[in-house]
Amino acid sequence: MTPIPTYQSMTDATADLCEVNMDASGPSSRSHRRLVIDEWQTLVRTITERSPLFIDGNSVSVPGTVAVARYGITARLSNDHHIRHRLQESVLFVAQRVSKGHSFYGVTTGFGGSANTRTRETEDLQSALLQMQHSGVLPLDHKDKVPESIFDSHLSNGDAYATLTIPDAWVRGTMLIRANSLARAHSAVQINTIEALFQLLNQDLIPVVPLRGSISASGDLCPLSYIAGVLEGNPDIKVWSGPRTAPRTVASRTIISAPTALDIAGIDPIVLGPKEGLALLNGTSLSASVAAMAIFEANNLTLLSQILTAMGVEALSGTSESFEDFISDSRPHRGQKESAQNIKNFLTGSKLCRTSVNDSQLSGVQRGLFQDRYPLRTSPQWIGPQLEDLLLAHEQILVELNSTTDNPIVDTVGERVYHGGNFQAMSVTSAMEKVRQTLQHIGKMLFAQCTELMQPSLSNGLPPNLAADDPSLSYSMKGVDINMASYVSELGFLANPVSNHVQCAEMSNQAINSLAFIAARYTHTAIDLLSLISSAYLYCLCQALDLRVRQIQFLSKLSSLLRAISFELFPLFSQSGIDKLHESIWILVVTSLDTAAIMDSSERFQHVMEHAQPAIIRTAIEEEVEVSIGALSKWVKLATARSLSLYRVTCDDYSKSPDATPFLGKASKKLYEFVRRDLGVPFHRGLSDHPTHRTPPELNNKHVEMKRTTGNRISVIYEALRSGRLYEVVIDCASGF
């Protein structure tokens, strides 16, 4: 495995990336696929090697933020002499200016709309700022509970910490980004204050921060004040402490006071110097941190959606023609071209998709619409703009991670203090609005594709609800279809902009504010929903691919069977006449099997063979061969019985050993194998798989040793997706071209 980059190589790489980002061709010369692969590999390398990140104010990346926030990677202030010297210079510069009687906002003045006041009590002013912002609502300690009442025995509507506090990972990321911003030496913060942030972070002593209360105007003031409150040792500020024996939860963690946390970390309470309190609070670090984690997952989900679309093409017997280069070259939007190329490559080696709209290789019969419906055919045109938006959103967030978002800011070289508004986090809001819109568009597309799978009239003959047995008693994926409608509806609601709900705040001083943190929060909820949609769709796709392969196996045997019956019952036909007769019969049989998919098998085959009679009569007339009514009736009876028997045997055999891989494209094969073999999620055999239903002994197989609900099977996929295990397969699929 490639070693983690050194501090110098990380700095050089960031400089190179900045040059790329400013290229006239667009936000980044990298494709979206390449960006996702690079960032995933960086994350894996970082969490595997466990080396600390060295922070210099310029080289924090999106995967680096994720590694620290979610995987416990440590971070330290760079030992670079120039960085530390600039930090000391900025602190000294402000102290000297204050001692000479100069006035600075937030150092000798009040805050916001109260900046018309003046004071020389600079340390007390910083404490007053924290006091003002420690206004968030948090769960109470037992000793702080209100007096007992009859309502104490109620069942809560939700967990108080989940409802009222920011997740640990988000706070960890915030501490990293705030320290990185302060390390730029524009904020006049002491080195020991920055290093104290890292000490708390690296010992996993994470402040309990209120979830609501930030409008991300002058930065995320209220949430960041709780981090600053820990540094000053405020006994009423709480900290999460203890080992994480339950992954991804705080179940094993305990809450301690800030002084106790400082004692554990070996940190003396910090008396905030001139501007230090303001510098800690006044910034976009919370919004940027949460946005970085959101863009990372959104990028992964969007790459996954293109593989799922390729699987959808195969499951629906669609065509790869929609993804040909000529189509995208004639309308050369960058994102459309990339998406088409991705999907086309994912389909490499598939025996299920057609190469053109005129190709009927699977059954020898042209079925359904001449072209694929829009959810498949126009998927590059649908996905393409989302890739472009994600690349721009990623650039906006990457810049924000390595920016000074304080006010005022210090230029020690030019010996000036600048008063401005870098704390206004609208760049983060802009990025998150784009990401949520992207997630909604992707979710809608996947749902539309999945809807086609469920309906025989749209799916080229797949059974209704993807039921492997008779549809009168099996509704396999119908509940999943309803679930997905719910997910997509909520996702659509969340796609609405947050930024048009801005309210005038703080004595009309903050009359415009970005709401970036709120936008980032809801983006994570949208990620949850698209993850549910993707997991459910992947489950349905694996089922559909199995059913499609089972159908192909049956049709290949049925063709020979019907030819043999015709040869047996109509001896007066010549060999060429039998060929012509079989061709006429086969066209009607295949199309009738599709339209009759809503029927139980016994009724279905009777219906299909009866509807094949006109083909026999017409061919007999054309060939001038006499066919009796008795022979015709016997053909229907024999064809029905033998076809039904063949169908049941084929279904039983496939249920015992389902395997669609010989027919799948390279990407579908990998995801299918991951679901079926690695995760142990089996082919759904219908009603017999219901946990309380008796399974006939002949249908038992190694894949269904214990029955589970449909929701349980999808939950296994969802857990693999959210943990990152599934993305290892996605990256593998996307890395081969």
Q: What is the pLDDT of residue 700?
A: 54
Q: What is the C-alpha separation between 349 and 660, in angstroms, rounded? A: 13
Do 540 and 412 fall within a single domain? yes
| pLDDT for res 697 | 59
Confidence tier at 23 by pLDDT (50, 70, 90): very low
Residues 646 and 696 in one domain: no
Residue 2, in any domain of the structure: no
Is 537 one of the catalytic residues?
A: no
Sorting pLDDT into bands at 50, 70 and 90, what band is 635? very high
CA distances 44 to 3, 5, 34, 132, 311, Å, are 11, 13, 15, 41, 26
Residue 618 CA, chain-centre distance (Å), reads 56
Task: List Cβ<8 Å contacts ≥24 apart for 629-638.
Answer: 631/569, 631/570, 634/569, 635/565, 635/566, 635/569, 635/570, 635/609, 636/606, 636/609, 636/610, 636/612, 638/565, 638/569
Tokens found for residue 684 = 């759904």
Residue in the structure block whose two tokens are 């025989």: 456
- Check the CA dihedral 410-411-417-421 and report its sign: negative
3-state SS assignment for residue 351: coil
Q: Are 495 and 203 in contact (CB under 8 A)?
A: no
What distance in Å separates the CA atoms of residue 575 and residue 42, rounded to the nearest whole number?
66
> Mind listing the pLDDT tens digit for each residue in 693-733?
876 555 555 444 689 999 999 999 999 999 999 999 999 99
- Domain boundary (230, 249, 283) is at 283
Do 468 and 341 share a structural domain? yes
Mean pLDDT value across residues 356-378: 73
Range of the domain at 59: 7-139+160-283
Give Cα separations from 151 to 144, 145, 146, 160 (angstroms): 16, 13, 11, 16
Residue 391: both structure tokens together = 């690349």
Verify that 270 and 419 share a domain, yes or no.
Answer: no
Tell me the sheet residues that pair with 165. 210
- Mean pLDDT confidence for 416-427: 93
The HSE-up count of residue 125 (CA atoms within 13 Å, CB side) is 22
The yes-or-no verdict on residue 320 having pLDDT over 90 is yes
Residue 110 has pLDDT above 90, yes or no: no
> What number of other Cβ atoms are within 10 A of residue 339's Cβ?
29
User: Does residue 598 surpass a pLDDT of 70?
Assistant: yes
Q: What angle do CA 50, 52, 58 make, to 5 degrees?
A: 135
CATH number, domain containing residue 129:
1.10.275.10
Q: How many CB atoms lie within 10 A of CB 521?
A: 23
Amino acid at 94: V
Asked if residues 515 and 498 have their Cβ atoms less than 8 Å apart, the reply is yes
Residue predicted with more confidence, 117 or 53 = 53
Average the pLDDT over each of 308-312, 530-534, 630-634, 642-646 and give the range with the smallest value.
Answer: 630-634
Give yes or no for a contact between 469 and 688, defined as CB atoms under 8 angstroms apart.
yes
pLDDT in tens, 161-190: 889 999 999 999 999 999 999 999 999 999
Phi and psi torsions of 248, nearest 5°: 60, 15
**Is 147 a member of any domain?**
no
Q: How many CB atoms lie within 10 A of CB 471?
A: 20
- How confident is the model at residue 698, as a pLDDT? 54
> Are residues 651 and 672 located together in one domain of the fold?
no
Q: Is the CB of residue 601 less than 8 Å from the CB of residue 644? A: yes
- Is the pLDDT assigned to residue 216 strictly greater than 60? yes
* Residue 302 dihedral angles phi and psi, to the nearest 5°: -70, -35
Q: How far is CA 218 from the centre of its chain?
A: 30
Contact 60, 184 (CB under 8 A): no
My answer on whether 395 and 271 are in the same domain is: no
Neighbours of 706 (CB within 10 A): 5
Q: Which of 264, 283, 302 is the last residue of a domain?
A: 283
Q: Are 643 and 709 members of one domain?
A: no
Alpha-carbon gap, residue 643 to 646, rounded angstroms: 5
Give the rounded distance of the alpha carbon of 538 from its chain centre: 13
pLDDT over 80 (residue 5): no
CA 182 distance to own-chain centroid: 31
Instruction: Identify whether residues 371 and 493 lie together within a single domain.
Output: yes
Alpha-carbon distance of 585 to 566, in angstroms, equals: 10
H or E stretch covering 531: helix 516-569
| Selection from 181, 190, 134, 166 nearest residue 69 by Cα | 166
H or E, element range at 241: strand 238-241
State whether 494 and 584 are in the same domain. Answer: no
Options 7, 105, 161, 475, the catalytic residue: 105
Does residue 499 form part of some domain? yes
The predicted pLDDT at position 699 comes to 52
Give the pLDDT score at 356. Answer: 77
pLDDT over 80 at 466, yes or no: yes
Q: Which of 259, 226, 203 is nearest to 76 (CA)?
A: 203
The pLDDT > 70 percentage for the chain reads 90
Tell me the C-alpha distance between 166 and 335, whole Å: 35
Short-list 195, 277, 204, 278, CA closest to 239: 204
Nearest to 670 by CA among 629, 728, 623: 728
> Rounded CA gap, 68 and 43, in Å?
10
Same domain, 167 and 100: yes
Is it the case that residue 434 has pLDDT exceeding 80?
yes
Tokens matching residue 68:
């620290």
End-to-end Cα separation, the chain, in angstroms: 20
Dist CA 381 CA 387 (whole Å): 11
φ/ψ of 581, rounded to 5, equals -60, -45
Task: Please compute the mean of the pLDDT values over residues 287-298 and round it to a whole number.
Answer: 98
Residue 275 token pair: 């501007």
pLDDT band at 71 (very low <50, low <70, confident <90, very high): very high
In a domain, 633, yes or no: yes
Q: Is 266 part of a structural domain of the chain?
A: yes
- Tell me whether residue 416 is exposed, middle or buried, using C-beta atoms within 10 angstroms of its C-beta: 0 to 12, 13 to 18, 19 or more: exposed
- φ, ψ for residue 175, nearest 5 deg: -60, -40
333: domain CATH number is 1.20.200.10
The stretch 546-552 carries a mean pLDDT of 97
The mean pLDDT value of the chain amounts to 90
User: Do strands 416-418 and 254-257 pair parallel, antiparallel, or not at all (unpaired)?
Assistant: unpaired
Whether 144 has a pLDDT exceeding 70, the answer reads no
Q: Which residue has the higher pLDDT, 737 or 26?
A: 737
Contact call for residues 490 and 532 (beta carbons, < 8 A): no
Residue-wise pLDDT tens digits, 482-504? 999 999 999 999 999 998 887 88
Residue 524 has pLDDT above 80, yes or no: yes
Residue 514: closest CA among 285, 292, 215, 225:
215
Q: How many domains does the structure of the chain reveal?
A: 4
pLDDT (mean) for 208-224 = 92
Integer angstrom CA distances of residue 138 from 161, 174, 226, 464, 570: 8, 18, 11, 50, 84
Whether the CB-CB separation of 35 and 17 falls below 8 Å is answered with no
Map tokens 């937030």 to a residue.
106
Judge whether 327 lies within some domain: yes
Residue 20 reports pLDDT greater than 80: no
Specify whether 278 is located in the same domain as 297. Answer: no
* The amino acid at 113: G
Distance between CA atoms of residues 96 and 274, nearest Å: 11
For residues 641 and 672, membership in a common domain is answered with no
Q: How confident is the model at residue 586 (pLDDT cuts 50, 70, 90)?
A: very high
Residue 145 resides in a domain: no
In 281-358 the beta strands, taken as DSSP E runs, fall at none
With cut-offs at 50, 70 and 90, classify the pLDDT of residue 360. Answer: low
Q: What is the DSSP letter of 155?
A: P
Asked whether the predicted pLDDT for residue 457 surpasses 60, the reply is yes
158-165 — which CB contacts under 8 Å span 24+ positions?
Answer: 161/250, 163/211, 164/137, 164/138, 164/139, 164/210, 164/211, 164/212, 165/138, 165/139, 165/208, 165/209, 165/210, 165/211
CATH number of residue 580's parent domain: 1.10.274.20
In the listed set 517, 549, 581, which residue is the last one of a domain according to the structure? 549
Cα of 667 vs its chain's centroid, Å: 18
Q: Does residue 685 fall inside a structural domain? A: yes
Give the pLDDT score at 452. Answer: 96
Region of poorest pLDDT, from 275-279, 378-382, 505-509, 610-614? 505-509
Residue 4 has pLDDT above 90, yes or no: no
